[in-house]
Amino acid sequence: MRTFLKILAALVVVGVIALLAFIFVPVQTTGPKTALAADYQVPDGAGAYAMRLADCAACHTAEGGKPFAGGRPIESPFGIIYSSNITPDNETGIGSYTLDEFRAALYDGIRKDGAHLYPAMPYANYRKLSEEDVRALYHYFHDELKPVNNQVTETKLDFPFNQRWGIRAWNWVALPDAQFVPPFQDDQLNRGAYLVQGPGHCGACHSPRNDLFAQAGYTAADDAFLTGGEIAGWSAPNLRSGASAPQSWDAEQLALFLATGRNAHQAVTGEMTLVVEDSLQYFTDDDMAAVVAYLRRIGTNGPAPESSAPASSGDKSPAGTPTPATSENDTSKLLASADPGMALGPRLYLDNCNACHFNDGKGASEVFPPLDGNSLVNSQNATGLISVILNGAELPSTAKRPYRLRMPGFADRLSDDEVAALATFVRQGWSNNAGAVTADSVSALRKQGGEQAAEQSGGR
């Protein structure tokens, strides 16, 4: 018995030592994956373009704040995370970072002080960045950008998520190799794969999460990659299923949507608005063509390029062409009848939506998006649609489409019951076949929006 207790005590001591080492021993960071010449110089304009490819502004610029000065609240399943100041300010930004320390933040999620960044920073995807793009980004943020002294709000998550050392264990099981492996024997497709998997970090939103909240797949070799995700209740649509909206568009319409946030079938909403405005509109024509070619190549309508297994045909974020609940003509005729005895949902549609989206729900190309077959409308989670009805939406101003178009919000005009009735009608009209919306869901989202607005304005 005494021997057993000695062994047990020894194991406890070893376990404590191992835990302390796990917490306090510095993490070995990832070095450059490609050796560049000692006299390598970042080409003119490469830094700013790499910043656009990586979409740094969307997260690191707070609403109404200075570019890249941080402080933007980012919702996560564990609480609000505030983005860092990434201007070259020595006190509150990253001005003192060396190139190796900057690369460690991009590849490993490690700050200069050795603390782990929360994976709201998509370092799992940035691990595929080329050394040329890492150097370009460092040059831009260290040498080109003006410093801004801005101490951002400290992220304070509840226990145990406030223990950043725990992210070290998460990294062991969640991070892919720090290397982009070209999957094709085609330069354009390889460029598209690199942009989507790496700097564009499309999978961070458009791929589902596993039980550890890690991205389910980082390349098309994984059937789950880009098959739809959810961000703060908003559905990021499936980009691979043959039934998904992007795969049902031709290459021209897909490129137009990515570059302008609008096309004949859809208009951008939610976080994707920032992606278009801050990143995608700046892609060169060649890079945009590469992205479109890659997305179409990995769709289930085409061959699976990176694995012998076929890509998933299940659309985890229902979109595209759902099974009709009622015929398109039935809905259009109902609205055209203007029957004073019609139900609340269609009556609200006539009063508030019909002038732009019309009886047939088809809208107007690149101006008023169609509601019939709309992926946001048909999403399994109705949060996005409810939010748009309550708060409105605005199309971004881009080089190809410089005019902004705004849909007004109806939060002050419609009650929770009315919003629920309107949303349910839209989700079940024409060829749409999505679930009903309850007044309780609307009430919860309205309350949540008010609380977030108060928090962001400083009223806690």
Residues 143 and 57 placed together within one structural domain of the fold: yes
Q: What is the pLDDT along the chain (460 residues), one digit of tens a residue?
A: 555 444 444 444 334 444 444 455 566 789 998 999 989 999 999 999 999 999 999 999 999 999 999 999 998 888 899 999 999 999 999 999 999 999 999 999 999 999 999 999 999 999 999 999 999 999 999 999 999 999 999 989 888 787 888 898 889 888 999 999 999 999 999 999 999 999 999 999 999 998 888 999 999 999 999 999 988 788 899 999 988 888 989 999 999 999 999 999 999 998 899 999 999 999 999 999 999 999 999 997 554 444 333 333 333 333 333 334 445 578 888 888 877 788 999 999 999 999 999 999 999 999 999 999 998 999 999 999 999 999 999 999 999 999 888 999 999 999 999 999 999 999 999 999 999 999 999 999 998 876 555 455 443 2
Residue 50 belongs to domain spanning: 43-149+157-174
- β-strands 393-394, 234-236 pairing: unpaired
- Does 96 reside within a domain? yes
- Does 3 reside within a domain? no
Q: Is 265 annotated as a binding residue?
A: no
Contact between residue 107 and residue 127 where contact means Cβ atoms under 8 Å apart: yes
- Does 390 reside within a domain? yes
- Residue 192's CATH number: 1.10.760
Contact between residue 226 and residue 207 where contact means Cβ atoms under 8 Å apart: yes
Residues 255 and 353 placed together within one structural domain of the fold: no
pLDDT at 16: 43
- Does 317 reside within a domain? no
DSSP 8-state assignment for residue 282: G
**Domain final residue, candidates 245, 274, 297:** 297
Q: Is 142 annotated as a binding residue?
A: no
Q: Is 60 annotated as a binding residue?
A: yes
- Residue 411's CATH number: 1.10.760.10
Residues 51 and 97 placed together within one structural domain of the fold: yes
Residues 145 and 194 placed together within one structural domain of the fold: no
Nearest to 77 by CA among 273, 239, 269, 210: 210
Contact between residue 179 and residue 33 where contact means Cβ atoms under 8 Å apart: yes
**Domain final residue, candidates 297, 316, 342:** 297
- Does 112 reside within a domain? yes
DSSP secondary structure letters along 50-91: HHHHHTHHHHHB-TTS-TT-B--EEEETTEEEEPPP-SS-TT
Residues 167 and 194 placed together within one structural domain of the fold: no
Amino acid residing at 360: D
pLDDT at 419: 97
- Does 323 reside within a domain? no
Q: Alpha carbon 34 to chain centroid distance? A: 28
d(CA 154, CA 335): 51
pLDDT at 22: 45
- Does 84 reside within a domain? yes
Residues 355 and 445 placed together within one structural domain of the fold: yes
Q: Is 353 annotated as a binding residue?
A: yes
Residues 371 and 341 placed together within one structural domain of the fold: yes
Tokens 């831009």, residue?
140
- Does 303 reside within a domain? no
Residues 360 and 443 placed together within one structural domain of the fold: yes
d(CA 424, CA 441): 12
DSSP secondary structure letters along 17-54: HHHHHHHHSPPPPP--SSPPPTT--PPTTHHHHHHHHH
Residues 379 and 346 placed together within one structural domain of the fold: yes
Q: Tell me the two tokens of residue 90.
A: 């020595």
d(CA 354, CA 426): 11
Provide the domain count of the chain.
Answer: 3
Q: Is 116 annotated as a binding residue?
A: no
Residues 434 and 345 placed together within one structural domain of the fold: yes
Residues 50 and 132 placed together within one structural domain of the fold: yes
The pTM for the full model equals 0.84
Contact between residue 232 and residue 292 where contact means Cβ atoms under 8 Å apart: no
Residues 120 and 163 placed together within one structural domain of the fold: yes
The residues near 204 (Cβ < 8 Å, ≥ 6 apart) are 122, 124, 125, 215
**Domain final residue, candidates 140, 174, 208:** 174
